Amino acid sequence: MRVEKWTGFAAVVVAVALAYAFWPHLINLMLPADSRPGKIAFAVERLTPQQFDATAQELTGPSSSMPAAQSWTDFPHIERFKKAGILAYEGPKTCLRCHRRITLTDAATGREKKVGLMNNLLGSTHYRFFTKKHPNVYGFNGVLADNFPMGKIDRPCPKPGSFAMTSWVALIELKDGRTYSEGCGQCHIGGQYQAPLGGMMPGYRTLNTEKETIDCLICHAIAYDMNQKQAVTDGNGRLRWGQDHSLKAAMSAVRPTAQNCLRCHQHNMGGDIYVDERDPSFMQSFVNLGENRPRVQHPGSKRGTPYSPSWDVHAAAGIACIDCHTTEGHLIARGTHTTTIMANDLPDVEVTCEKCHTARPHTGEAASGGTGAAGGTGRTAAKRSYYTPEFAEYLNNHTEVVACVTCHISSLHPDNVTMRDFSTPVFEEDKGIYIYNDVQKETEPGKAIVYVWWNGDASFLGSAIGDNPNAAGLYRFYKPTHVWPEYKNFDYAAWYERVMRPISREKPSKLYAIKLYNGKQHIDLQNMTPFGGMFLPYEFPTYYTTGNADAAAQKEAQKSMMKMMYGWMFDVYLMNKFMTFMDAPGWNTGSYQDVLALKKVDPRWIPQDASMEISHAIRREGSLICADCHSSDGVFSWRELGYTDEEVQVLSVNPLEE
């Protein structure tokens, strides 16, 4: 009896151990075959000692080709590699020879601690493309969207109209022989054939085959060649993104500079078209598009706020991104105020101007207004002869209720898009492809930049939540301008008072400058609510080569991951909860057959224009001045901001003219 008991117990232990060992593999087996990770062999460039010395000279010598703003006179890894006899870069395993464990500062306690580098990296947004903690995002049902995987991995991108899980990498082949690279994977440090989808499932442990393909150098190497970042078909016959594995790049590894970060993030801020002639190194992705299969350039800047010397005083001063964005190893703080970037490694860590400038930043030091592209609006060209210490104190009193960006982002880049229609692509003659239709491009305050009360929280589709501190109940952040016909009788005002008004008053609000955006994209009308619906992504080759958005949406719906998204597993683990935050009863998996046939599908604008947070393109000269707001025709309406008639009368007068 005792033997049988212990035999049964041992069998259970073995079964649990086997389940634990094989769990990641089981999860990947549940994924479609074309979305599973695989063993990838990158080409290894091995140098002779003489070639190593020549490369070192190329990096550090007087004729160095390094960007002007990155005036490195020496790269520490050159000497380290030489001593260790490292003559080839073989991916992360080369880095881990020395960096297996790292010392970092805990962002919450300020104490130093040692952690495993790989575990720290695998837990980061830059690898996972999502986080589960979202303490500032509320569903339209009034519920905090927390303990839920959310980020670029499962939210649509308003650049090419896609989901990362279905649009990781694609080749756009034209009849004239030109080929373009496209897909969400170009902005990801992983090197696999698909996004790291397994990581969204409970208990998943990243496989060695996935770890081995991580691109350390795209973030750390000054000499990284973005021409290598293009779609390639490898020895396995599968499509993926290329990487620069040259020893030259590895020898130039340093703490990430702004230019390194902007290889991906300028795409989101300044866009894919503008290159700052003052220093093109801030736009490396657009200068080096790809060796022979260039990446598609997306016109229409998502935020219109380039981070480069001509547009931002901090870029001109040599401030690196991680000088402001606190890091905990590879975990990087986004800040507590976000509307559209849902994934945040350190959501409780502030990223604020006050960390450097204090809460009373104005000193009375004279400054003059500017003109031109980065100089702000024509309103601000007057000389600020009144900028005395007394007036500086007056401005400092504003900082309790007015955010710094409200005055110091006074216009957006000319390529900034405010209204994008994916359903009616237009042909680009020079590129030979169809591209979405940017039907409206605005740059000025009141048109591209709107002013809202914001307490740092956001709705599920990117509205800045907040309320006027006067508590008069006259301000509403949600006023849809594109109400869908099915909901023309929906009482948005009553819903707002019941659900959103209490949330908007939970924290104090400040007046913020926000970038306005809306996109028109195909919607599954059987998975919708008064606040929006499920976007349908587009199959890139069809979209770019034919301009037929209907056919592109239909073809994308046939992909294995789209079928899985409408299946039981995604319903249970992800989509049902996703739709409840849209204030729907759940995820309707039964609509998939209609989606395949493009039935009950229609291109729609989002009911409420999105409020995209903006925090770059900061100007000192060219910022807004008193008359830009305190007048009868200022950049915003005091009444729309929820002020009473008496308050409007007072606030509409320029205090300098009293």
Q: Write the Ramachandran bin of 91: left for phi over 0, alpha for psi from -120 to 50, otherwise beta.
A: left
Domain of residue 92, residue span: 32-624
Q: Which residue, among 218, 240, 217, 216, has the nearest Cα to 230 in the 3D structure? A: 240
Alpha-carbon distance 469 to 511, whole Å?
10
- How many distinct structural domains can be found in the chain? 1
pLDDT tens-digit series, residues 221-246: 999 999 999 999 998 899 999 999 99
Mean pLDDT across the chain: 90
The β-bridge partners of 528 are 533
Alpha-carbon distance 550 to 553, whole Å?
5
- 108: confidence class by pLDDT, cuts 50, 70, 90: confident
Least-confidence region, from 298-307, 434-443, 649-658: 649-658
Rounded to the nearest angstrom, the gap between the alpha carbon of residue 381 and the centroid of all alpha carbons in its chain is 33
**% of the chain exceeding 70 in pLDDT:** 91
Is residue 407 a part of any domain in this protein? Answer: yes
Question: Is the pLDDT assigned to residue 275 strictly greater than 90?
Answer: yes
Q: How far is CA 143 from CA 156, 311, 342, 607, in A?
A: 21, 39, 15, 20
Q: Which residue, among 372, 395, 256, has the nearest Cα to 319 in the 3D structure? A: 256
The residue written with tokens 């007068």 in the block is 653
- 384: confidence class by pLDDT, cuts 50, 70, 90: very low
Is residue 448 a part of any domain in this protein? Answer: yes
> Tokens at residue 647, please?
């308050």
Rounded to the nearest angstrom, the gap between the alpha carbon of residue 72 and the centroid of all alpha carbons in its chain is 29
Is residue 414 a part of any domain in this protein? Answer: yes
pLDDT of residue 364: 75
- Sequence-ordered list of residues with C-beta below 8 angstroms from that of 376, at least 6 positions apart, any chain: 369, 370, 410, 411, 619, 621, 622, 623, 624
pLDDT of residue 593: 96
Is residue 647 a part of any domain in this protein? Answer: no
Which amino acid is residue 384, in one-letter code?
R
Alpha-carbon distance 558 to 569, whole Å?
18
Is residue 608 a part of any domain in this protein? Answer: yes
Question: Is the pLDDT assigned to residue 140 strictly greater than 70?
Answer: yes
Is residue 226 a part of any domain in this protein? Answer: yes
Our CA angle for 628, 266, 533, nearest 5°, is 80
Alpha-carbon distance 149 to 343, whole Å?
9
- 328: confidence class by pLDDT, cuts 50, 70, 90: very high
Question: Is the pLDDT assigned to residue 72 strictly greater than 60?
Answer: no
Alpha-carbon distance 646 to 398, whole Å?
20
Is residue 642 a part of any domain in this protein? Answer: no
pLDDT of residue 37: 94
Least-confidence region, from 139-143, 366-370, 592-596: 366-370
Is residue 24 a part of any domain in this protein? Answer: no
pLDDT of residue 201: 87
- In this structure, are residues 563 and 592 in contact, taking their beta carbons and an 8 Å threshold? yes
Q: Which residue, among 61, 218, 18, has the nearest Cα to 126 in the 3D structure? A: 218
Element (H, E) at 452: strand 449-454
Higher pLDDT, 231 or 5: 231
Q: Which residue, among 536, 515, 562, has the nearest Cα to 413 in the 3D structure? A: 515
Element (H, E) at 529: strand 510-529
Question: Is the pLDDT assigned to residue 573 strictly greater than 80?
Answer: yes
Question: Among 155-164, 362-371, 406-415, which range has the highest average pLDDT?
Answer: 406-415
pLDDT of residue 370: 36
pLDDT tens-digit series, residues 479-492: 999 999 999 999 99
pLDDT tens-digit series, residues 509-519: 999 999 999 99
Burial of 100 (0-12, 13-18, 19+ CB in 10 A): exposed
